[in-house]
Amino acid sequence: NRKRIPAFSPFLYQYRNLVERFFSKLKHFRAVATRYDKRADNYLASVQLASIRIWLRHKESVT
């Protein structure tokens, strides 16, 4: 029995689901999943490139 029911917001849950699905897609890129880059700025650049590819793939399927 729970004495206190956790707060639930459908609005926040929708965006949490969106973020979790994005990270799942991001981990399909091998360089991002295994973190080949040693420097943080290089890793950030590879994450940004992977994000752009995901975004372009999404835009292509919508149009």
What's the mean per-residue pLDDT of the chain?
88
pLDDT value, residue 1: 64
Total number of domains in the chain: 1
Q: State the residue range of the domain holding 26.
A: 11-62
Beta-carbon neighbour count of residue 26 at 10 Å?
15
Residue 56 resides in a domain: yes
Model pTM above 0.75:
no
Does residue 3 lie in a domain region?
no
Distance CA(52)–CA(45), nearest Å, equals 11
Confidence of residue 60 (pLDDT cuts 50, 70, 90): confident
pLDDT at position 51, please? 95
Matching residue, tokens 């149009």: 63
Q: How much is the pLDDT for 10?
A: 84
Angle at the Cα of 34 (from 56 to 59), degrees rounded to 5? 5
The reply to whether 2 falls in a domain is no
So what's the pLDDT on residue 3?
84
Share of the chain above pLDDT 70, in %: 97
